Homo-oligomer: A and B are copies of this chain.
Amino acid sequence: MLNIAVLGYGTVGSGIVEVLNTNQDSINKRAGKEINIKYVLDLREFKGDPIEDKIVHDYSIIANDPEVKIVVEVMGGVHPAYEFVKEALEKGKSVCTSNKELVAKHGAELLRISKEKNVNFLFEASVGGGIPIIRPLNQSLTADEIEEISGILNGTTNYILSKMTIEGSDYETVLKEAQVLGYAERNPAADVEGHDACRKIAILTSLAYGMQVDFEDIYTEGITNITDIDINYAKSIGANIKMLGTSKKKDGKVYAMVAPMLINDLNPLYTVNNVFNAIFVKGNVLGNVMFYGSGAGKLPTASAVVSDIVDAAKHGNTHIMTIWSSRKLELGDVNESKYRYFVRVPSEVKIEDVNKLFGDVEIIKLDQYSNEYGFITSEIMEREYKEKSSNLSIKNMIRVAF
């Protein structure tokens, strides 16, 4: 029997209990031993719940119980999750977590400690919910140099953009609908401003290149400026607007960004709609692969955490994750990254002025918007775009990823 403790009995925590109960036999068989939840840490009591008698309020009971071999942290937030996880690892317990804030901020240190203690720090559920991506990056794509990771990493924003595209509704209407359905939080900032996706692409990039990527260094733009007008322009050229977390290696430098981008139907992310997530990876010999699935949700996320518990149980005293060094990966200057830019300007802006600044551009005029037009530049550096566009009155700009 292998004893585990679950920190936090919220959505994911109760999902883990449900998954362990539902698939008990096959999970125990795969883990090679019976997995037993000995404690659940939560401030609340849960009277009448089957786990009622496992509830403890004091973490030191868990930390100091040598019978607990695996600590499952699903509380979220950096504190006190960081202190709890660090203590568990230092006491020789493996840790499985779904906490992207924790992994993005302290992943390098926690991986190092887990390696020193010959235990495991696993975080499959921290990116892409139920989609297997951390383990494939760590164990499957080992023959390759990763050239690009681009992902639809946030279900809330993908739901909003999909609905705006499919139904033609505006941003505010769809956001409210998403809040009613529980797909968006009452305070949606972490999702719609791109902060959630930013932490996830930071984790993936750290893992791909083996060095610490500080999420604060990643240029991040949310979807709050995207209007139904932008969506209609996108549709007119057969494109979709998706919020991508992306990192690309070019001339030895890694350029990372979170922003809404135009993609066309040659991109496998094009048809990833609603709350689904997908992560596209390009390897130098493998070519393109994509991983698709439910990026959030109680049971898919719990399934990913439990797959980590199985792995930790199977590898009692073998460290299985590649560590990433705490040496900081200096990202390429965002001003030197190159894109094509889709730009909307009022009709007063003369096309000849646009041409003077950007050379030949692709002009897009839609009948229903008579007082404006759009254009797409050739590929130029972000710095050049900023300088040139500062001379124009701009309604909106969206980067083009094709």
Given the interface pairs A143-B303, A143-B310, A145-B26, the reply to whether A286 lies near B293 with Cβ below 8 Å is yes
Determine if A299 is an interface residue (Cβ-Cβ < 8 Å). Answer: yes
Min C-beta distance of A61 to chain B, whole Å: 26
Q: Is the CB of A130 within 8 A of B271?
A: no
Which among A26, A270, A289, A310 has the greatest number of chain B C-beta atoms within 10 A?
A289
A330-372 contacts to B (CB < 8 Å)? none
Q: Which residues of B contact A101 (CB under 8 A)?
A: none
Q: How far is the CA of A130 from the CA of B289 in the complex (A)?
A: 8
Comparing A46-54, A132-140, A186-194, the segment that makes contact with chain B is: A132-140
Given the interface pairs A124-B140, A135-B136, A142-B310, the reply to whether A297 lies near B287 with Cβ below 8 Å is yes
Determine if A165 is an interface residue (Cβ-Cβ < 8 Å). Answer: no
Q: Which residues of B contact A310 (CB under 8 A)?
A: 142-143
Q: How far is the CA of A311 from the CA of B142 in the complex (A)?
A: 9
- The listed residue (B19, B27, B124, B288) touching A294 by CB distance below 8 A is B288
Determine if A283 is an interface residue (Cβ-Cβ < 8 Å). Answer: yes
Q: Is the CB of A285 within 8 A of B271?
A: no
- The listed residue (B286, B304, B318) touching A130 by CB distance below 8 A is B286
Q: Mark A260-281, 1 if CB is under 8 A from B, else 0.
A: 0000010010110000000000
Determine if A63 is an interface residue (Cβ-Cβ < 8 Å). Answer: no
Min C-beta distance of A127 to chain B, whole Å: 13
Determine if A225 is an interface residue (Cβ-Cβ < 8 Å). Answer: no
| Number of copies of this chain that the complex holds | 2
Q: Which residues of B contact A131 (CB under 8 A)?
A: 289
- The listed residue (B30, B271, B318) touching A142 by CB distance below 8 A is B30
Determine if A385 is an interface residue (Cβ-Cβ < 8 Å). Answer: no
Given the interface pairs A27-B142, A30-B322, A270-B271, the reply to whether A303 lies near B288 with Cβ below 8 Å is no
Determine if A22 is an interface residue (Cβ-Cβ < 8 Å). Answer: yes
Q: Is the CB of B289 within 8 A of A132?
A: yes
Q: Which residues of B contact A307 (CB under 8 A)?
A: 139-143
Q: Which residues of B contact A318 (CB under 8 A)?
A: 318
Determine if A121 is an interface residue (Cβ-Cβ < 8 Å). Answer: no
Q: How far is the CA of A283 from the CA of B299 in the complex (A)?
A: 10
**Size bracket, chain A contacts:** 35 or more
A301-327 contacts to B (CB < 8 Å)? 302-307, 309-311, 318, 322
Q: Is the CB of B294 within 8 A of A292?
A: no
Q: Which residues of B contact A173 (CB under 8 A)?
A: none
Q: How far is the CA of A141 from the CA of B291 in the complex (A)?
A: 13
Q: How far is the CA of A130 from the CA of B284 in the complex (A)?
A: 12
A20-60 contacts to B (CB < 8 Å)? 22-23, 26-27, 30-31
Determine if A300 is an interface residue (Cβ-Cβ < 8 Å). Answer: yes
Q: Is the CB of B311 within 8 A of A285?
A: no
Min C-beta distance of A303 to chain B, whole Å: 4
Determine if A392 is an interface residue (Cβ-Cβ < 8 Å). Answer: no
Q: Is the CB of A132 within 8 A of B143?
A: no
Determine if A394 is an interface residue (Cβ-Cβ < 8 Å). Answer: no
- The listed residue (B19, B271, B289) touching A271 by CB distance below 8 A is B271
Which among A22, A132, A304 has the greatest number of chain B C-beta atoms within 10 A?
A132
Q: What are 5 A-B interface contacts by the 8 Å CB criterion?
A: A23-B285, A135-B135, A271-B271, A286-B303, A290-B290
Given contacts A23-B143, A135-B135, 14 further A-B contacts (CB under 8 A): A19-B143, A27-B143, A30-B142, A130-B286, A139-B311, A143-B304, A265-B271, A268-B292, A285-B299, A285-B303, A286-B303, A286-B304, A287-B294, A287-B300
The 10 closest A-B pairs by CB, nearest first: A143-B306, A289-B293, A132-B140, A290-B292, A286-B303, A142-B310, A143-B303, A285-B299, A285-B303, A30-B142
